Amino acid sequence: MNVKFRRILPWLLLRFFAFYFCAIAVTEAQVIIPLAYWRVICLSSINNIDNNITTGFGAGTLTGINWSGTALVLNAATASGTYVSPPFNFSDCYNTPWKNLSWTASLPFGKEIPATSEIAADYSAINGGLATGLRGLWHLNETAGTVIADSSGAGNTGTLQGTATLGATGILFKAVTFNGSTGYVSTTNSFVNPSIFTVAVWFKTTTTAGGKLIGLGNNITGSSGNYDRHIYMDNSGGINFGVYPGSVKIVTSAGPYNDGLWHQAVGTLSAAGLQLYMDGTLKATDASVTTAQNYTGYVRIAYDNMNGWTNQPTSPFFGGTIDEAAFWTRALSTTEVRQLYQRGGNRIKFQVRKCTLASCADNPAWLGPDGTSATFFTEVNNNSNQNLSNGAVTIAAPNLLFANFTGLILINTVAFQYKIIFESDNTAYSPDVRSVFIGH
């Protein structure tokens, strides 16, 4: 070995081992991270899109419902049913909160009317264009005051007159209960002789004194001198829809509809005639009546003059609960009316639960938006403010963020389950669910 090299060898070895141990020290320092700072990226989610018995709806429990080939639907002539998912074991994501719930359906079941029309990309069977010609939309969700908002965007705000109870339970969200003697709503803006129109309203009552549900009158308050384009109840609980083109013209559905249940009445006038729909079905028509009285009127809800009308009720004031009133300056089609009814008459409701056992045998309570079993996730939450403090109806398919519901805590979960409740007030029509996604 070269003498010079022998002299520098110890120096080289010292440098080598110093570098080696330094590298190990750095490497070790990078690996040894306190447990408190560890983070697990959890990409797990629930995505049911078919009837697969392992990964789809077929793995759950179906009661009163079936898989139609494309969606979960109610069995024939069945008013309600449930789907309960299997427990999904996500113990590896124990410390990761669940983020969102979304689902798809053919129609917006249990959803208020939006100011803008929905499209088939979000609801596969929707007859688009519902918002076309919409000039008044009163959700009646107010809980205080006298201002009744018009959500159509047309600015036809209503004013509460007399006595009524705000914040009552509605077919969709909230509603107004009228006392049958002084309470009603009237708009401050007028409608100039609408010759083609649709008027719609949801109601619930047991009254035997009848009353006007909705219509036009030429006075903002008090009793109008000109009044037609109205839907009213007679003393026996029948529903009448009429106009006055120089004489009284009405069509009637006998019902009775004063049975304490929710019903929807829709009246249209066009070249096709005078038509009355009840709960999504055409009940009466007069093809010879195609015009109404010529005057400028205000929308009146729950009261106006009824003198001179066939089947005139004892009281012009309606005593009962009213929800989701609307006015269009066009005639809705039969399909549109049916789908309008299905927004309230068919409902989809979700609840979720977190389990401490992988099998969910600990049987924890099902939870809704407020963190209790008394509430449900529905299309009503499909709102710009999903906790429903205020906001506007969203036109897209529902995507509910759990973080928006302050009473709901979905973390520290070994297993997770969801439940869907299907409801139909008219068994001729069924709600459906085509897919469900719940994300971490």
Is residue 425 within 8 A of residue 79, CB to CB? The reply is yes
Supply the pLDDT for residue 332. Answer: 99
Please give the single-letter amino acid code of residue 339.
Q
Supply the pLDDT for residue 396. Answer: 98
Backbone CA torsion sign across 43, 49, 55, 60: positive
Supply the pLDDT for residue 440. Answer: 82
Mean pLDDT (whole number) for 321-337: 99
Supply the pLDDT for residue 246. Answer: 98
Whole-number mean pLDDT of the chain? 91
Find residue 103's DSSP bridge partners. Answer: 436
Instruction: Give pLDDT tens digits for 411-427.
Output: 888 999 999 999 999 99
For residues 164 and 302, give the distance between their C-alpha atoms in angstroms, rounded to a whole number: 10
Tokens found for residue 414: 């070994």
Supply the pLDDT for residue 17. Answer: 45
DSSP assignment string, 15-34: HHHHHHHHHHHHHHHHH---
Supply the pLDDT for residue 15. Answer: 47
pLDDT of 434 strictly over 50: yes
Tokens found for residue 137: 């939309």
**Most distant CA pair in the chain, distance:** 129
The kind and range of the H/E element at 13 are: helix 3-31
pLDDT of 232 strictly over 90: yes
Query: What is residue 93's three-state secondary structure?
Result: helix
CA 45 to chain centre: 24
Backbone CA torsion sign across 122, 124, 126, 132: positive
For residues 107 and 111, give the distance between their C-alpha atoms in angstroms, rounded to a whole number: 9
Supply the pLDDT for residue 257. Answer: 99
Instruction: Give pLDDT tens digits for 55-106.
Output: 899 999 999 999 999 999 999 999 999 999 999 988 878 888 999 999 999 9
Mean pLDDT (whole number) for 367-395: 94
364: preceding bond cis by omega (within 30 degrees): no
41 pLDDT tier (thresholds 50, 70, 90):
very low
- The percentage of the chain sitting over the pLDDT mark of 90, rounded to a whole number, equals 83
pLDDT of 6 strictly over 70: no
Is residue 68 within 8 A of residue 83, CB to CB? The reply is no
pLDDT of 9 strictly over 60: no
Supply the pLDDT for residue 164. Answer: 98
Place of tokens 């990226």: 41
pLDDT of 118 strictly over 80: yes
Supply the pLDDT for residue 42. Answer: 59
pLDDT of 345 strictly over 60: yes
Supply the pLDDT for residue 93. Answer: 83
DSSP assignment string, 323-342: EEEEEESSPPPHHHHHHHHH
Find residue 436's DSSP bridge partners. Answer: 48, 103
Instruction: Give pLDDT tens digits for 128-186.
Output: 999 999 999 999 999 999 999 999 999 999 999 999 999 999 999 999 999 999 999 99
pLDDT of 224 strictly over 50: yes
pLDDT of 8 strictly over 60: no
Beta-carbon count within 10 A of 290 CB = 17
Tokens found for residue 40: 């697990």
Instruction: Give pLDDT tens digits for 369-378.
Output: 999 999 999 9
pLDDT of 354 strictly over 90: yes
